[in-house]
Amino acid sequence: MNMKGTVYKIHSDFYYVMPDGENGTQNLIECKLREILKKQKIKIATGDFVEVEDSNAITKVLPRKNHCAKPNVANLDLMLVVSAIMEPELNFVQLNRYLIFLKYHNIPALLCFSKDDLADETSLNEIKERINKIYKPLGYDIIFTSSISCDGLLELKEYIKGKTIALMGQSGVGKSSLLNAMNPEFNLRTKSVSERLKRGTHTTRHCEIMEFPDFKIMDTPGFSKLTFDFILPKDLGGLFDEIRTLGTECRYSDCLHTEESNSECNVIKNLDNIDISRYESYLEFLIEAKKYKEKVTYEGVKIESTTKTHSNKEFAKISSKKRGYSRKRTKQNTKEALIETILEEEDV
């Protein structure tokens, strides 16, 4: 009899699968990968929905809602993007970095602004107004929280009910405090889990799904090094909703919508309608995407003109086939490994 379930964690060749409808770590089933899947070079991610045969062999990976290669996780229902309204200072470019990354990976985001006990009422209202003005029109849900006054915690709990979530946000913004504040009873009961969530720097390279009473958390080594070194400049604008919308009316094909591109560019003409921090973020990420393009061009990775759908959007397809191997084999291999890692997410 076949069984369906979710991969909760992966340790070398072993996959720990929670059968659908079950919970509790004691019900995890230790599985191996079917030989045929190994041959097909299928790389399973934590969070993958799989089919398992009697012999505890995974025979099939079911279609993914979303996938991220680094860390290697799949099927997240929600990413809680945590920013503090102060301490550390609110950084919109950093926030946009997370949001654009998630957009690319097709992972839904909830914007969570923490530590709202630190601002007096007037300035808190000003901050809220600014945030709502930028992110509401972009379709994001927003929650203001405080782990001290417990503001917004019930709302947050309700929002994440039944979901598999992960958290991202700069260190010190209050991610661990938020989790603990939401689960005081749980905190007392299973200290080890909350201790693990509390650690400041992740040392593990493993990803693992952990069950809480009302939701599940994907514990990861973090999404720390987040650079746009996987996307081509021409595809970046498509991830900013407001730039994409204005860009479709742009007279120039392949326009990067920067000052130097052309004064007739529709995005440039409408800069007043884009929040300055969003456009600044776009320019900053564009530099990284340009570097990436230079790098793949230098390394002879073939960039095909055909596009393929990734996260329901069109992106240039970057072939992992090289045009030639002129340089030293070993060196080439290392680079190949690097590029392949970058390309992993294209191979879903």
Ligand X SMILES: Nc1nc2c(ncn2[C@@H]2O[C@H](COP(=O)(O)OP(=O)(O)O)[C@@H](O)[C@H]2O)c(=O)[nH]1
Q: Out of 146, 183, 194, 281, which residue is the one contacting ligand X (CB under 6 A)? A: 146
63 CB-contact burial (10 Å; exposed 0-12 / middle 13-18 / buried 19+): exposed
Place of tokens 């076949």: 2
Contact pattern for ligand X over residues 69 through 108, marking x by CB under 6 A: ----------------------------------------
- Asked if residue 88 has a cis previous peptide bond (ω within 30° of 0), the answer is yes
| Position 171 contacts ligand X (CB under 6 A) | yes
Nearest Cα neighbor of 222 from 44, 86, 68, 112 is 68
Kindly write down the DSSP assignment for every residue of 196-252, as one continuous string.
HHH-SS------EEEE-SS-EEEE-S--------SS-HHHHGGGSHHHHHHHHT-SS
Q: Out of 172, 245, 327, 347, which residue is the one contacting ligand X (CB under 6 A)? A: 172
Residue number, 171 or 227, with CB nearest to ligand X: 171
Could you say which of Mg ion, Zn ion, ligand X, none residue 53 binds, taking C-beta under 5 to 8 angstroms by partner kind?
A: none
Interacting residues toward Mg ion by CB under 5 A: 175-176
Residue number, 75 or 177, with CB nearest to ligand X: 177
Measured in whole angstroms, the distance separating CA 90 from the mean position of its chain's CA atoms is 20
Distance CA 123, CA 108 (A): 29
Could you say which of Mg ion, Zn ion, ligand X, none residue 255 binds, taking C-beta under 5 to 8 angstroms by partner kind?
A: Zn ion
For residue 284, the minimal CB distance to Zn ion (Å) is 18
| Position 174 contacts ligand X (CB under 6 A) | yes
Mode of pairing for the β-strands spanning 313-322 and 301-310:
antiparallel
Distance CA 216, CA 186 (A): 13
For residue 301, the minimal CB distance to ligand X (Å) is 37
By CB under 5 A, the residues from 257 to 276 that bind Zn ion are: 257, 265, 267
| Position 115 contacts ligand X (CB under 6 A) | yes
| Position 246 contacts Zn ion (CB under 5 A) | no
Residue number, 223 or 285, with CB nearest to Zn ion: 285
Could you say which of ligand X, Mg ion, Zn ion, none residue 265 binds, taking C-beta under 5 to 8 angstroms by partner kind?
A: Zn ion
Residue number, 72 or 176, with CB nearest to ligand X: 176
Distance CA 110, CA 141 (A): 6
Contacts of 302 (CB under 8 A, 6+ apart): 318, 319, 321, 322, 323
For residue 175, the minimal CB distance to Mg ion (Å) is 5
Contact pattern for ligand X over residues 182 through 221, marking x by CB under 6 A: ------------------x---------------------
Strands (E), the chain: 3-11, 14-19, 29-33, 49-52, 57-61, 67-68, 73-74, 78-84, 109-114, 141-144, 164-168, 208-211, 216-219, 301-310, 313-322
Q: Out of 34, 175, 257, 310, which residue is the one contacting ligand X (CB under 6 A)? A: 175
Residues that bind Zn ion (CB under 5 A): 250, 255, 257, 265, 267
Residues that bind ligand X (CB under 6 A): 114-115, 117-118, 146-148, 169, 171-177, 200
